[in-house]
Amino acid sequence: MTAKIIDGKEFAARVRAKVGEHVTRLKADNNITPGLAVVLVGEDPASQVYVRSKGKMTLEVGMKSVEHKLDVETPEADLLALIDQLNNDPEIHGILVQLPLPKHLDEDLVINSISPAKDVDGFHISNVGLLGTGQKSMVPCTPLGCLMMLRDHHGSISGMDAVVIGRSNIVGKPMAQLLLNDSATVTIAHSRTKDLADVVRRADIVVAAVGRPEMVPGDWIKPGATVIDVGINRLDAPEKGEGKTKLVGDVHFESCAAVAGAITPVPGGVGPMTIACLLANTVTACCRANGLAEPEGLTA
C-alpha cells in the first residue's frame, strides 16, 4: 500500500483563500477589517522569521497587521502594559505573543493577561477550560489545522479510534480534546505508555506530536490508518554535504507511508496549516467581537 499524501501546503492555501473571502465580505458588508497584533520580545532568529511570515500572510488576506518588537531586556511590567493596550484596542481582534519568551518573563502570566476573546493562539487558561468542556473557545492553531485536514480527508471521524502521541499543552492535549469533541475514541500516549507500539497499532488515526525524530516506525501503523505528523526535527544530512541538515517528522515517513492509507509529509504537511489557522482564528475572533455569524469551515 502507498499512502495518499495529505498536502498541507495546498490545503493551507485553500484555508487562506477562504479567510480572504471572509475578510472581503466583512469590509464590504460591515466596514470592519480584522486586525492581528504580534508581539516579539528579543531577537530569536527562528521567531523573527516566523513573525515576518505571519505579517506577510496577514496582509495578503486583507487584514490589518501590527507588529511590536521589544528589546530582549524589556521588563515584564512593560510587556503587560502593551498587552493591556492591545486588549482595549477595538481595531485589534487577535493578539499573539511569540514564544518562547526570554527567561526573566513569566510565560503563563503573559499568556493569561491576553483577553481570552483575542487569544488567537488558544493558550489562555479560559480557552483551555472552554475547549475541555466542549464550549465555544479559541482553539490552538496546530491542532485546529490537524482537525481540518482529518475532516477533509475522512468527512467524519465519529467512532474512529485515534491515538495522540504526546501530551503537551500546545498540541497533544488540545488535539485529543478536539478529536473527542468530534466523537472519536481517543487515547493519549506518551513516553511512559506501556506497550506503546501495540497502543498505536490499533489506531485508525495516529497524531504524532512527541518531538522525537522518526520515533514511530511503519510496523507501529495499522494498515490503512491516517497518520498526522506534527513533528519538526532537524537532523544532520551528510549526504547533502558537510554541515547540511534536513527536516524530519516524528514518524519514519518511508516505512509509515508504505502501510498507512494517508499521511502528512514533513515539511509541507501540518506546518503550513498553523499560520493559516492563526488567520482563521483572527477572523473568527473578529466576527464574535462584532456579533456576526462565524466563518463556516474555519472553526472547530
**DSSP letter string over 85-120?**
HHHT-TT--EEEEPSSPPTTS-HHHHHTTS-GGGBT
d(CA 230, CA 278): 16
Answer whether 26's CB lies under 8 Å from 64's CB.
no
Identity of residue 242:
E
Q: Could you tell me the pTM of the whole model?
A: 0.95
Here the cell at position 110 is 503573559
How high is the pLDDT of residue 45?
86
Please report, for residues 166, 178, 194, the alpha-carbon distance to residue 201 in angstroms, rounded to integers and kept in the order given: 16, 21, 13
Catalytic residues: 54, 98, 121
Answer whether 72's CB lies under 8 Å from 42's CB.
yes
How high is the pLDDT of residue 191?
85
d(CA 263, CA 276): 19
- Nearest in space to 121 (alpha carbons), one of 234, 285, 295: 285
- At 65, is the secondary structure helix, strand, or coil? strand
Identity of residue 251:
V
How high is the pLDDT of residue 238?
82
How high is the pLDDT of residue 19?
98
Identify the bridge partners of residue 229 per DSSP, sorted by sequence position. 208
C-alpha 56 chain-centroid distance:
18
Answer whether 208's CB lies under 8 Å from 230's CB.
yes
Please report, for residues 1, 80, 81, 155, 235, the alpha-carbon distance to residue 141 in angstroms, rounded to integers and kept in the order given: 31, 23, 25, 20, 25
Q: What is the pLDDT tens value at each position of the chain, 300 positions in all?
A: 689 999 999 999 999 999 999 999 999 999 999 999 999 999 888 888 889 999 999 999 999 999 999 999 999 999 999 999 999 999 999 999 999 999 999 999 999 999 999 999 999 999 999 999 999 999 999 999 999 999 999 999 999 999 999 999 999 999 999 999 999 999 999 989 999 999 999 999 999 999 999 999 999 999 999 999 999 998 888 888 787 888 999 999 999 999 999 999 999 999 999 999 999 999 999 999 999 999 989 999
DSSP designation for 251: B
Identity of residue 272:
P
